[in-house]
């Protein structure tokens, strides 16, 4: 018996991807359908043309519906872009219960207290992620419920985004005839599909190289510590090939995917690639070494930006598990080797996992990391409730958060 249908919708700069999954009674997760369509209405992760984005969403959803046989009505959608910002905050409350026992309501009250930060009118809090709780000066507490204390503090990681950017995504999904169940930061979602608990505990950085944005998330002690979004990503590589060789955008994208290499030492043989001439001209012949000379500098820039941000986060010496690359840009040959050289740490390619039935082989590809992660994020939050360190059921609180999110869209 299928208990619940969950849909992850990744609205990217170069593609829109919809994945339909169902959780069975025995806890297994089945992938029922996958839909993909080219994305034409976004620039660097932000909606710039609502009509084109709506059509891209509709095409991807229709393909997923056709493959799964399920009518899609509600989706979990990702948000990314250079407008995403994060910072640390701290809150403190007094425990007024008669026996000084900390209740779940006290934790909720403390999390609300951490949100009392001065934000510009055009920004909204997307996620509040607890880092640790401090009870009567004792730090390192991750599950304070049931403990005794008179004063409780919390260090949290707050992620914010532009209200208008989030609102435009919300509008596009609604105009495509769908409801938004939840909106999640894309690197946070990807981490659910790519990283395991051991990596998050010892320290790891997730680098998701998409078409329009490169998303970065630093994890240590099983929680997210730092997030960053850069506008330099895979589409810049395609543009470099297009301008450098004087070819069409479609040809440049195909060259990047089929023959591209981002690390010259990994090229063994010289391969000549023939492209049809434009406007009746003679065919164009290029070799893969020339293509690598165009791709490598831009990929180095993407990874150097990530390296600088890791250093700025202050966690560069705490990443024992190294880095995990994912996203379509990570599939360019030699990218893992180049990343190891630029970042100076162990690097592996991250492939979505966590499914045991259905179209499992089809989704085991870095391009589906965000869409798969959105499904797993929703499943985890259904079981554990939201981003707290305890297993108490807070289903009502999830609904409250979603309703609050919907309300600030409606107010604008």
Closest CA relative to residue 224, chosen from 308, 108, 313? 313
Q: CA 154 to CA 226: how far, in whole Å? A: 16
Q: Which two tokens stand for residue 176?
A: 């495509």
Averaged pLDDT score across all residues of the chain: 87
Residues 6+ apart with CB under 8 A from 409: 166, 167, 170
Assign 384 a pLDDT band (cuts: 50, 70, 90): very low
Which residues, in sequence order, are CB contacts of 107 under 8 Å at separation 6+?
133, 144, 145, 152, 388, 390
The span from the CA of 247 to the CA of 59, in Å, is 28
Which domains are seen in the chain, by residue range? 85-160 (3.30.1490.110)
Distances (CA, A) of 27 to 210, 354, 387: 31, 11, 21
3-12, 198-207, 330-339: range with lowest mean pLDDT: 3-12
Residue-level pLDDT at 284 = 84
Tell me whether strands 138-141 and 123-135 are parallel, antiparallel or unpaired: antiparallel
- Of the candidates 354, 388, 407, 394, which has an alpha carbon nearest to the alpha carbon of residue 19? 354
| CB of 80 closer than 8 Å to CB of 184 | no
| pLDDT of residue 310 exceeding 90 | yes
Residue 397 has pLDDT above 50, yes or no: no
Q: How confident is the model at residue 143, as a pLDDT?
A: 87
Q: What is the pTM of this model?
A: 0.86
Paired residues of 286 in beta bridges: 273
Q: Which residues contact 90 (CB under 8 A, 6 or more apart)?
A: 114, 153, 154, 155, 156
């Amino acid at each position: 018996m299928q208990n619940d249908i969950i849909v992850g919708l990744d609205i990217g700069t170069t593609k829109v991807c919809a994945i339909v999954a169902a959780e069975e009674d025995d806890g297994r997760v089945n992938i029922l359908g996958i839909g993909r369509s080219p994305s034409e209405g976004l620039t660097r992760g932000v909606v710039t043309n609502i009509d084109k984005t709506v059509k891209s969403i509709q095409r991807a959803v229709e393909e997923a519906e056709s493959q799964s046989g399920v009518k899609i009505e509600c989706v979990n959608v990702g948000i990314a872009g250079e407008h995403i910002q994060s910072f640390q905050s701290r809150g403190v409350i007094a425990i007024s219960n008669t026996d000084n026992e900390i209740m779940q309501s006290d934790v909720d009250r403390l999390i609300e207290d951490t949100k009392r930060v001065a934000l510009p009118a055009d920004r909204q809090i997307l996620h509040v992620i607890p880092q640790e709780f401090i009870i009567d000066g004792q730090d390192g507490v991750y599950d304070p419920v049931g403990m005794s204390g008179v004063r409780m503090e919390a260090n949290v990681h707050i992620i914010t985004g532009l209200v208008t950017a989030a609102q435009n995504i919300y509008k596009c999904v609604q105009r495509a005839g769908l409801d938004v169940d939840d909106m999640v930061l894309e690197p946070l979602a990807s981490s659910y599909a790519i990283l395991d608990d051991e990596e998050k505990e010892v320290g790891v950085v997730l680098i998701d190289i998409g078409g329009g944005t490169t998303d970065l998330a630093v994890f240590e002690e099983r929680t997210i510590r730092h997030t960053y979004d850069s506008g330099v990503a895979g589409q810049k590589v395609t543009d470099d090939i297009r301008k450098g060789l004087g070819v069409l955008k479609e040809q440049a994208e195909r060259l990047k995917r089929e023959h591209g290499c981002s690390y010259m030492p990994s090229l063994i043989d010289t391969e000549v690639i023939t492209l049809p001439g434009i406007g009746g001209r003679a065919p164009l012949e290029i070799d893969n070494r020339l293509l690598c000379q165009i791709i490598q500098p831009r990929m180095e820039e993407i990874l150097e930006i990530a390296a600088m941000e890791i250093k700025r986060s202050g966690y560069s010496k705490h990443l024992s598990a190294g880095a995990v690359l994912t996203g379509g840009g990570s599939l360019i040959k030699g990218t893992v080797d180049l990343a190891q050289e630029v970042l100076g740490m162990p690097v592996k390619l991250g492939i979505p996992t966590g499914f045991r039935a259905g179209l499992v082989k089809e989704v085991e590809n870095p391009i589906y990391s965000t869409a798969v992660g959105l499904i797993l994020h929703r499943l985890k939050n259904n079981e554990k409730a939201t981003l707290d360190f305890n297993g108490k059921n807070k289903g009502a609180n999830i609904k409250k958060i979603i309703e609050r999110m919907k309300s600030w869209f409606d107010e604008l």
